Structure 1
Amino acid sequence: MVRRLVILLAVVWIAVAAAPAASRTAQPVTGYVDTHNHLMSNEGFGGALFCGKTFHPDGIARALVDCLDHHPNGEAAWFENFTRTGSPAGTHDPVGYPTFKDWPANDSMTHQQNYYEWIERAWRGGLRIMVNDLVTNRQLCEIYPLKNRSCDEMTAIRLEAQRTYDLQNHIDSQSGGPGTGFFRIVKSPDEARQVIAAGKLAVVLGIETSEPFGCRTTLGIPHCTRAQIDRGLNEMHALGVRSMFLCHKYDNALCGVRFDSGAQGAIVNLGNLLSSGSFWRVERCTGPERDNTISPDGVLPPVLNDLLPPGVGLPVYPPAPHCNTKGLTSLGRYMLEGMISRGMMVEIDHMSVKAADQTLDLLEARGYPGVISSHSWTDPNYFRRIYQLGGMITSISHDADDFVDSWRSSKTLRDEFGKTGYGYGLDANGLHVLPAPRPGSAVTYPLPTGQDRASTGQRTWDYNVDGVAHVGLVPDWIEDMRAIAGDDFMRDMAAGAESYLQTWQAAMNRAIR
């Protein structure tokens, strides 16, 4: 009897030891997920477009300072003014720390919104996973007259990855030594679970750039090869990157993009011309899916209008609905296969509907669940296919009412496919306006998390007045949405981190080895 019991215990032990690590350690985690943020934008775009740093070894007074060209009153900050108001004219107080009179602000797109102490406030308010998308854009770097480094995209991506590790080390140094800080870069779902169980923030590295591995085109001729893609994926995976976009803003050698609209669309379309040799090519959509409408009244600021070739103006497009003629290329399919073989998350946002449709076809053929729409840049008609694969959809950080509407509209599909968690893509420092204060909001302090109003230097922010001026006010924004949507909303948000990890783990389980 004893002998049989010993044998039984040995068999059980062997079975447990042989089981995948995730199946043994996958205790559900509770907390929010930010699937799309940009902690190191100041290191991209030539190093002079974004003002202020996520951290500085010498402290906050060196980190949170304005760009030199914004002094003395912001009048020369034409890109900040144009992205904020649609006009290159404008002024602001350039003083950052300690007064912060005019920045950070929810609608200021070139000032730092991710200072590490603000990230810490978001973590203390319930954030458990953050995807840090390393970001830059060669063409925008070349267009912007000020720069202090190369515009090469992969050079910038490597630097941003290094700065993220530097940030982890800096936080550790403020917390007692290696491994003690709240900010931990993770490379697997298992590692993320361990970090969260230890009461820390799991940070996933992603890439959102327009020419990954040099994959741009000139008049349809690609500038990269399969060998470059292989080398690039190997290098980035070794750095810890686990999530990637194939294309962003401009058509490249991998896929066509989903258009931008409005004043920003005019700038991006100029960039597409300078990057690839042509403006966006448009056809009238034939199906229910469509790309964003290109505004007929897009106007370039004078400093950019001069970059147009003589006699060339912005194109006039046919009536909407607008669809990009370019889809997924053979090199794009090759890169997707490479990402699948490494268990990486495929970001479907920013793909043209033609490219997104072809990407989903490929993922469905492989049974690969590792697909995510992280910040509302894909056509909603694809949501069913994403959920059916086992993927995840999170909304960009809309104002409170609009975000709750997005959550509600997703509920039927999520219930059908058993997806209980929901999340947000803050897109801070991503040329995106963060949530404004909601008219009638009455967030009271301290928050249920015990946090009083966010305060840095001489400035205290109140969500009811300032909205989400920086990442640290996300807990206040979520509390406002709790008042609108109630406990069901909070349960879904609290299950967001677990939902992300399940999708990521399923992708790794299906990876081609």
Structure 2
Amino acid sequence: MKSLSRGAAYLLSLGAACAVIPQVAAMSSAPAPQLEEHYTGPASGLAQGCFVLQSPASGLFVQYEPNSGITDGKPAYSVSAESEALASRFYLKPSRQDHFLFRDIDGRYLSGGSASAIRAVDKAEDRSEWSVTSADSGFEFRNAASHLQLAHHTDKGDFYYTGALDLLRYDRETRLNFVATDGCAEFPEVTLNSQGNMEALRGEVSEPVRGYIDAHAHITSYEFMGGKFMAGEPFNRFGVEEALKDSKELHGKDGALDIIGNLYTFDDISHRYDTRGWPDFPWWPNHQQMSHMGYYYKWMERAYQSGLRIIVTNLVENEVLCWAQSNINPASWINPNSCNVMDSIRLQAQRLRELEEYIDAQAGGPGKGFFHVVTSPQEARETIAAGRLAVVMGIEASETFNCGLNDYCTRETIETLLQEVYDLGVRSLYPTHKFDNQLAGSVVEGGFINVGELLSTGRFFETEECDDETTGRHMTDGFPLIGDIDGIREILDAVHLNPEYDESIGHCNQHGLSPLGSYLVNRMIDLKMMVELDHMSNHTATAVMDIAEARGYSGVLSTHSWMLKGKDGAVHYNTQRLIEAGGFTAPYNSDANDMQHRVGRYLDLVELTPYWRGVGIGTDMSGLGGQPGPRSDATERPLEYPFVSEFGIRFDRQTSGNRVFDLNTDGIAHYGLLPDFIEDLRQRAPARTYEAVMNSAEAYLQTWERTYQAGVTDHYEPAGLDYSL
């Protein structure tokens, strides 16, 4: 076809424009629509609001169409209601910053359909998420899945996606107004069951912090082991119905595929349970299980309201368990995460930032939520003073920096990856965890973990008798779990897979800190990062404390009772050195009766130093760690509900969907039971114990601040480094 000349094209376009002008003129002569008073603030301020949607051009409102001809008889919405009373009322639930789910009073969602149709659907899906942007007149909508802009025809009221071909249509409108109303059905959500003046949680930057720290948590563990072990999430853009859904999709019918969870927790591969989640929760969450998420964001918010000031959340991975999970559980064969530790750490750091954004979005925009990731003690103090929870990132992994015994690990690779995780916001980490690596020897364990040591390193734990001041671990002969079965022992003997241990002694790891590990610890001190001593072998912990003392460094931590004990269960000399250096301690959490002993043994030593008298707690929730159950005397001396915290916040039993949780019968079933535990501690433990815990956030901050005050010191190479790793 011959192309048009420039003049012909001009005349044609002029004719098209003239054809449109009468229609536009006819429109302009129509009476102005009656517009209701509408919302004019930023999109973020729409969060948790109840609105009807009105067209600025026609004055008509959006309404539900049960049998829409526009969408071939399928339920839809159109801009056709002549009054607010006939309009659909939408509850706006943020899915992320300036993105929303529109849910009407009957639980339907405004959703993009196939092609250009806009439908009403019964369950939130990818096409139910809408980006909302403020415009000159009203707000513009864009579908988050298709990235197409929403528009409607003012003459017919039907919704559609805009395209280049309809730019000259006179009846095209791309904006809607939000008119505040009432009568919405609120979005399904976990309730806090708390009330009071939350301003009481604010403070002054210049004053000591009153409140407690959970120094060992795992908020992002739902992404470890290939993302196919931990059921549930701390948030989901489609809400609690998706975040805490039935775990059968992951764990199989009755939990039959939850093999690691059943073995690790109940020592029973045949253990079965009811997998249902929201809204009934007949079995999980509970204080014993380890394969379901305990940190839903509303549960964390409730904990924050009880005086939780700081949470240290460790990005966690274990390549051996991830490998086992990915081979054992069929659910892991489809779209698994990488088992590489560094890949997992990067993903979990990203997820933590997404969680922060999500919580901010729920509260109305950036900086308005209760949850804030911090990277310095000063930022933590400012966050806490503003009435928010300070979140510190750590790492607890077995092959950090790809330094497993079979990996390629050098000073250069450590330097690069250490700087990377620092830039991600990580401020503390474990040089070793569960298994030996090229950095250091770990605390030895028998059974399941010794099998993991074999798979990770190619050998079982190599042990020796502990020194006279150290209580070691019990190790047994034979291949763990199966080595004593008739016939199997002989086969394993033949291939040298039956380890031999002297069962009459306490065992410690032969291996300690390597030259690479010494380099890492010294570089962490240079960067003012804090070193976690839990899970270290005695030789490793001794060498790390030699470095810390030589460099005048306080940034050493024991945050969940995984340092070795002294004789007769006394505090070990390396833990004493840690406390005397100005480091920070937090025992693994327990019930109120037991915590007076766990806290007291550290507090006895802290009180002999010039440092702040605080001892924290380490829950290790969702990190393959169980939680305390009800007190043994809870029936005779229960925690009474409701109770009022020292900050004046009134708490009743926590309700999640149809399930009501009670500390007296459930223990710490999920993170939202921490307020109940803290109040139980206040009422049942000695005042000395409660005060130490409520001083723990300040004690941690002062330890962190001393790391900055240490100044620049030379690297120190301790004696007796392990060159065999």
Q: Same fold (TM over 0.5)?
A: yes
Tell me the equivalent position of 1:7.
none
Structure with the higher strand share, 1 or 2:
2
1:50-89 CA-to-partner distances (Å, cap 9, x unmatched) read: 1111111110111112152423212332222212221111
Tell me the equivalent position of 1:480.
680
Alignment partners' CA distance in 2, 1:314 and 1:345:
39
Map of 1:355-366 to 2, 5 A cutoff?
355-366=540-551
1:187-236 CA-to-partner distances (Å, cap 9, x unmatched) read: 10000000000011000000000111101113xxx620001111111111
1:312–1:47 distance in 2 versus 1, CA, 3 Å: farther
Tell me the equivalent position of 1:243.
428
Alignment partners' CA distance in 2, 1:31 and 1:372:
19
Q: What are structure 1's unaligned runs of at least 5 residues?
A: 1-23
1:63–1:310 distance in 2 versus 1, CA, 3 Å: farther
- What one-letter code is carried by the residue in structure 2 that aligns with 1:427? D
Tell me the equivalent position of 1:64.
244
- What one-letter code is carried by the residue in structure 2 that aligns with 1:53? E
Pick aligned residue for 2:664 from 464, 468, 471: 464
Correspondence 1:74 to 2:255: yes
Tell me the equivalent position of 2:702.
502
Alignment partners' CA distance in 2, 1:412 and 1:458:
44
Deviates more, 1:168-177 or 1:393-402: 393-402
Tell me the equivalent position of 1:446.
642
1:268-289 CA-to-partner distances (Å, cap 9, x unmatched) read: 2111111111111011112312
1:49–1:389 distance in 2 versus 1, CA, 3 Å: same
SS at match of 1:33: strand
Contact 2:384 2:390 in 1 (8 A): yes
SS at match of 1:35: strand
SS at match of 1:242: strand
Alignment partners' CA distance in 2, 1:362 and 1:81:
41
Contact 1:38 1:132 in 2 (8 A): yes
Alignment partners' CA distance in 1, 2:223 and 2:259:
20
Pick aligned residue for 1:101 from 282, 285, 288: 282
1:458–1:299 distance in 2 versus 1, CA, 3 Å: farther
Quote how far apart the aligned CAs of 1:298 are. Answer: 7.9
Tell me the equivalent position of 1:315.
499
% same residue: 40
Tell me the equivalent position of 1:372.
557
Tell me the equivalent position of 1:154.
342
- What one-letter code is carried by the residue in structure 2 that aligns with 1:404? Q
- What one-letter code is carried by the residue in structure 2 that aligns with 1:431? L
SS at match of 2:464: strand
1:138-184 CA-to-partner distances (Å, cap 9, x unmatched) read: 11111122331221010000000000000000001100001100000
SS at match of 1:417: coil
Contact 1:291 1:324 in 2 (8 A): no
Indicate the structure whose relative CO is greater, using CA pairs within 8 Å and at least 6 residues apart.
1
Map of 1:235-274 to 2, 5 A cutoff?
235-260=420-445, 265-274=446-455
Tell me the equivalent position of 1:430.
623
Correspondence 1:420 to 2:626: no
Alignment partners' CA distance in 2, 1:70 and 1:251:
30
Alignment partners' CA distance in 2, 1:487 and 1:397:
17
Tell me the equivalent position of 2:596.
404
TM-score, structure 2 normalization: 0.64
1:463-512 CA-to-partner distances (Å, cap 9, x unmatched) read: 00000001111121122222222322222111110000000000122153
- What one-letter code is carried by the residue in structure 2 that aligns with 1:466? D
- What one-letter code is carried by the residue in structure 2 that aligns with 1:405? H
Correspondence 1:176 to 2:364: yes
Deviates more, 1:202-211 or 1:392-401: 392-401
Correspondence 1:113 to 2:294: yes
Quote how far apart the aligned CAs of 1:130 are. Answer: 0.1
Map of 1:201-216 to 2, 5 A cutoff?
201-216=389-404
1:53–1:384 distance in 2 versus 1, CA, 3 Å: same
Map of 1:189-204 to 2, 5 A cutoff?
189-204=377-392
Quote how far apart the aligned CAs of 1:299 are. Answer: 4.6
1:40–1:472 distance in 2 versus 1, CA, 3 Å: same
Q: What are structure 2's unaligned runs of at least 5 residues?
A: 1-203, 565-570, 714-725
Contact 1:35 1:425 in 2 (8 A): yes
Alignment partners' CA distance in 1, 2:348 and 2:396:
12
Alignment partners' CA distance in 1, 2:477 and 2:662:
38
TM-score, structure 1 normalization: 0.90
Quote how far apart the aligned CAs of 1:294 are. Answer: 3.0
1:416–1:279 distance in 2 versus 1, CA, 3 Å: same
Quote how far apart the aligned CAs of 1:346 are. Answer: 0.5
Alignment partners' CA distance in 2, 1:360 and 1:275:
27
Structure with the higher helix share, 1 or 2:
1
- Over the aligned positions, Cα root-mean-square deviation in angstroms equals 2.1
SS at match of 1:258: coil
Correspondence 1:288 to 2:469: yes
Alignment partners' CA distance in 1, 2:314 and 2:286:
21
Matched residue count? 480
Alignment partners' CA distance in 1, 2:369 and 2:476:
46
Contact 1:45 1:137 in 2 (8 A): yes
- What one-letter code is carried by the residue in structure 2 that aligns with 1:459? R
Quote how far apart the aligned CAs of 1:26 are. Answer: 4.1
Pick aligned residue for 1:53 from 204, 225, 233: 233
Deviates more, 1:432-441 or 1:483-492: 483-492
Contact 1:26 1:190 in 2 (8 A): no
Alignment partners' CA distance in 1, 2:459 and 2:678:
42
1:325–1:69 distance in 2 versus 1, CA, 3 Å: same
- What one-letter code is carried by the residue in structure 2 that aligns with 1:474? L
The structure with more radius of gyration: 2
